Structure 1
Amino acid sequence: MKNLFLSLTILATLFTGCSTDDDEGTIQPVEGELTGSITTNRTIAYGNYTLNGIVTIESGVTVTFDAGSTITASATNGVDAIVVKNGGKLIMNGTASQPIVLTESSATPGSWGGIIMYGDAPINGAGGVTTKTSEDGLNLPYGGTNPTHNGGTLRYVRVEYAGKKITDGTSEMNGFSFYSVGSGTILENLVSYKGADDGYEFYGGTVSASNLISYGNYDDSFDWQDGWKGQNNSNWYAYQTTTGNFGMEIEASNNNNAFWPVIANITLKRASGTVTEGGSSAAEYDAIQFKKQGNGDFTNIVISGYTTAGATAVRIQDAGTNTDQVNASKIKLTSVKINDGTSEYAGAGTLTVAFPSGQFTTSSSATGANLTNGVWSTVGGVSLIQ
């Protein structure tokens, strides 16, 4: 199958400049299959490709996809995913009108593994470890000492129906999974649509991301651990519908720390009737949850729809996080607007939470994420920006 992939890639490259005979000179999409390990630099021409199994971009290799391409996985293949190993680069430069779409033929959430990227930026795992093994079933190492690691560019890319549970049924893949990815990587205008796990998960690292949409993902819209500390994040938008847990699940692997991510312009919305994966009684229905020493600096936040009985806009889950992060002013949420009367914040159980002065502020003029709609943010003729 590897040879098939290579031959199709070469064929696609040859047809990049070809066009139809009509007056408009429209370039016709190439048809092909992607499979196996990619061991040499490749440009994948504009086209429609099927994804067969786990495609890996090996260290030292750059793979570039043309704008407007579609890549279709199938649950019948077993596990499909695109994996960028540490040292490899994935370049997907879509545009607002010609996004690169990765989907699945049955349109069933949880059918494939999405995009998984590995780097060697620093992590801070449980117990202070600096390297770990991935939880995606691939059992690959992540963590390192290179904060500026560059795994490529993902721009105007939409991942649909990912979040596959594999091996024993508990190892999980997300829409986008970033393992110790560094600040040299560009993540802009991305959509994670109707996956069965998290929309985006960051496992340590220093990468930042702007203009993100997480729509209809079953677990958390945004999730991180292992000391992720991206500093230049903006315009994060989540819309939870039918099934969904937290809008944002924030933890730092039980390490009290003096660093944190910074995110400006956040919108978290939950549609009426949305329940958690385990049913609403599972108590994972808050907009934002901090636990295991999670922290961060967040501003211009709009929260709507988290009205299930007992839900709150911000939940502090454990006493250690309350003492070391809230009370020590390592969690900061400013210019917060809650549209429907949901309580501002609370502790789990009987835990009492009181933010220091200036660490939690509200504003009726907060606007949240500022995104421009287009083909990139539209599925089936419906805008994802509700």
Structure 2
Amino acid sequence: MSANASLLVEQLWQLKRLVDRGECADIQFVHLNNLLREPNYRADVLRRAEASGSEKVRKLVGSIRDQDSGMPLMANTGPQYIPEAVKSTPRKRRHLIWLAPLVAAGAAVSVGFTALEPQTIRISENITAPATWEGGKTYVLEDIVFVDNTTLTIEAGATILGENGSALIVTRDSQLFSRGRPGQPVVFTSARPEGARSRGDWGGVVLLGNAPVNQPSAQIEGIPASDQRGSFGGPDATDSCGVVEYTRIEFAGFEVYQNNELNGLTLGGCGSNTIVRHVQVHRALDDGIEMFGGTVDLKHILVSGAADDSIDWDWGWRGRVQFAVIQQHADVGDNAFEGDNNGDQHETTPRSEPVFYNVTLAGTGHGAKAHRGMVLREGTGGHFHNMIIDSYAMEAVDTRDEVRALAAGKQLVFSDNIIAATGTMGSRQAEQGADDDDYGFDEEAWLRSPENRNHLSISSALHPAARHLTAPDFRPRIPSRDMPATAPPKSEFFDESATFSGAINPKNPGSWLEGWTAFPES
């Protein structure tokens, strides 16, 4: 790295530190890696910092502009350059909202639509040039629409209606910037009128990228193998599929062909520079969110009323999750989590090994449909901490296939969690014969092991309102002093101050769900 580039990196780090200290009124958080890698993101941060920052910030922005050539400062692959200030300066962590990038000013061209009226625009063709869907307007997807080798920006307050058979698919080497705000989310929903909407009215949102997957010639579900626009995966673990924040996806998941439905949100081979934060998937016909490989992280996630699994992963996903709420509905659904590595070769690498902190799984008890908290199989690892698993009629965790070596090698860890009002709570007999699908591994002994510090309770850890269909409340009913929580890892991603169980801080009167989520029945 040249001397000028090194100086610029140091100055950008200084800018991030000033933002963290509250010296930019219009910016709450800066993602350092994106600041270095993404010129469009950097340009937007500099513009906002210059407009709303302190005098010190404005001077620093001027110096940065003098040095900045508008090129990426970090390669897409290889080791990351970390300024000395990053290595040595302690950082005060805060619970913050991510700042999303804007597509650079210029020719933002809307293609493939016809205007019916000023506020309603029908999308009938693929998007092959940079496009912006404006806040306050409604866009109607008439068919499967591909964002192909370009970018689509969706502004806060935009509504996207999906007609039957439609979906939005962002292909590899393209990006989606769905940039809602707390009071103005981006909403993807059914094109049918309110009161007539239901699961599977339209397809959903698919993002494909270039991060590693462990399945050769990976092709996303629902797209014919002959169509290369459905392929994904590559060598770039830091790839960015874009930004999805303060975004709701409702009534998605139509059946493409028999027993194959699209998910509410599908992330195939998306890398760690993809930002997925403050996202709700509501009443999906298939899974709520599914990751096929990649390293994408998720934060402040709500999946409510999925008809299959709420969060599903396969093919080597190695991302991180913090602050996630799963709400089961009594009449539909399968598992809150279903985790796999690879069904063809359980030991193939990269192995699925996500990391979860501060998660609430709200089951329905003995309802019309019995649910499991988690099914972990086909070689997946995983790290699960500070969770509340509440009111699952069948069991909290069901492991399958060979897991003993994963648990012994700490590739599969389940510790510092609360399991409440779930399953048989100790009265279940060991699996035998045809029911022994994990080679004699005793899940219950593993969960109850003193070294894992899990707390099992007969009473529910959540209020009854956690199961309310239209106005749920996911705050825990137990005080934080009684929670067996541990500090999350120190990193730019995790909020390490979240030393409580579940996704909602019991000490706060409100929660991060307010202002942008919704729970329509139809």
Task: Give the TM interval when normalised to the shorter protein.
Answer: 0.7 to 0.9
Query: Which residue does 1:66 correspond to in 2?
Result: 155
- Residue 313 (structure 1) aligned to one of 379, 391, 396: 396
Query: Which residue does 2:50 correspond to in 1?
Result: none
Give 1:246 shift: 0.5
Q: Are residue 295 (structure 1) and residue 381 (structure 2) matched?
A: yes
Cα separation, partners in 2 of 1:301 and 1:63, compared to 1, 3 Å: same
Q: Give CA-to-partner distance per residue, 1:30-88, whole Å, 9 cap, x none.
A: 211122211111111121121110111111x111111011111122xxx2101000011
Cα separation, partners in 2 of 1:74 and 1:343, compared to 1, 3 Å: same
Q: Give CA-to-partner distance per residue, 1:259-282, whole Å, 9 cap, x none.
A: 611111111111245444xxx5xx
Determine the C-alpha separation between the residues in 2 that align with 1:161 and 1:183. 28
Determine the C-alpha separation between the residues in 2 that align with 1:287 and 1:229. 20
Q: Are residue 378 (structure 1) and residue 518 (structure 2) matched?
A: yes
Cα separation, partners in 2 of 1:192 and 1:247, compared to 1, 3 Å: same
Q: Give CA-to-partner distance per residue, 1:107-155, whole Å, 9 cap, x none.
A: 1101211100111110113xxx3x3222223432222111111111000
2:145–2:169 Cα contact (<8 Å) kept: yes
Unaligned 5+ segments in structure 2 are 1-108, 456-481, 484-499, 505-510
Query: Which residue does 2:174 correspond to in 1?
Result: 88
Question: More deviation in 323-332 or 64-73?
Answer: 323-332
1:43–1:65 Cα contact (<8 Å) kept: yes
2:111–2:131 Cα contact (<8 Å) kept: no
1:148–1:183 Cα contact (<8 Å) kept: yes
Q: Give CA-to-partner distance per residue, 1:289-345, whole Å, 9 cap, x none.
A: 1110111111100011112xxx11111122x1x233223322111211122153569
Find the residue that maps to 1:146 and give its secondary structure: coil
Determine the C-alpha separation between the residues in 2 that align with 1:216 and 1:132. 28
1:287–1:306 Cα contact (<8 Å) kept: yes
Query: Which residue does 2:300 correspond to in 1?
Result: 211
Query: Which residue does 1:221 correspond to in 2?
Result: 310
Find the residue that maps to 1:86 and give its secondary structure: coil
Determine the C-alpha separation between the residues in 2 that align with 1:263 and 1:288. 13
Query: Which residue does 1:362 correspond to in 2?
Result: 454
Cα separation, partners in 2 of 1:324 and 1:41, compared to 1, 3 Å: same
Query: Which residue does 1:5 correspond to in 2?
Result: 112
Cα separation, partners in 2 of 1:8 and 1:88, compared to 1, 3 Å: farther
Structure with the higher fraction of residues in helix conformation: 2
Determine the C-alpha separation between the residues in 2 that align with 1:341 and 1:380. 27
Query: Which residue does 2:276 correspond to in 1?
Result: 187
- Residue 334 (structure 2) aligned to one of 218, 232, 245: 245
Determine the C-alpha separation between the residues in 1 that align with 2:189 and 2:113. 22
Query: Which residue does 1:21 correspond to in 2?
Result: none
Cα separation, partners in 2 of 1:275 and 1:223, compared to 1, 3 Å: farther
Cα separation, partners in 2 of 1:248 and 1:67, compared to 1, 3 Å: same
Partner letter of residue 372 of structure 1?
A: W
Structure with the higher fraction of residues in strand conformation: 1
1:1-386 aligned at under 5 Å gives the runs 5-6=112-113, 8=115, 30-46=119-135, 47-59=137-149, 61-75=150-164, 79-104=165-190, 105=192, 106-125=196-215, 129=216, 131-139=217-225, 140-167=230-257, 169-230=258-319, 232-241=320-329, 242-253=331-342, 254-256=345-347, 260-272=353-365, 274-276=367-369, 280=370, 285-307=371-393, 311-318=394-401, 320=402, 322-343=403-424, 349-350=435-436, 351-353=440-442, 354-355=445-446, 360-363=452-455, 364-365=482-483, 366-370=500-504, 371-380=511-520
Cα separation, partners in 2 of 1:359 and 1:290, compared to 1, 3 Å: farther
Determine the C-alpha separation between the residues in 2 that align with 1:344 and 1:305. 11
Give 1:355 shift: 3.0
1:333–1:359 Cα contact (<8 Å) kept: no
1:175–1:199 Cα contact (<8 Å) kept: yes
Partner letter of residue 383 of structure 2?
A: D
Determine the C-alpha separation between the residues in 2 that align with 1:261 and 1:344. 26
Determine the C-alpha separation between the residues in 1 that align with 2:267 and 2:352. 19
Cα separation, partners in 2 of 1:174 and 1:73, compared to 1, 3 Å: same
Q: How large is the RMSD of aligned CA atoms in angstroms?
A: 2.6
TM-score when scaled to structure 1?
Answer: 0.81
Find the residue that maps to 1:355 and give its secondary structure: helix
Give percent identity, aligned residues only. Answer: 25
Determine the C-alpha separation between the residues in 2 that align with 1:339 and 1:88. 43
Determine the C-alpha separation between the residues in 2 that align with 1:179 and 1:119. 6
Give 1:207 shift: 0.6
Cα separation, partners in 2 of 1:71 and 1:359, compared to 1, 3 Å: farther
1:120–1:181 Cα contact (<8 Å) kept: yes
Give 1:171 shift: 2.3
1:124–1:255 Cα contact (<8 Å) kept: no
Find the residue that maps to 1:325 and give its secondary structure: helix
TM-score when scaled to structure 2?
Answer: 0.61
Cα separation, partners in 2 of 1:233 and 1:211, compared to 1, 3 Å: same
Determine the C-alpha separation between the residues in 1 that align with 2:259 and 2:231. 19
Cα separation, partners in 2 of 1:7 and 1:107, compared to 1, 3 Å: closer
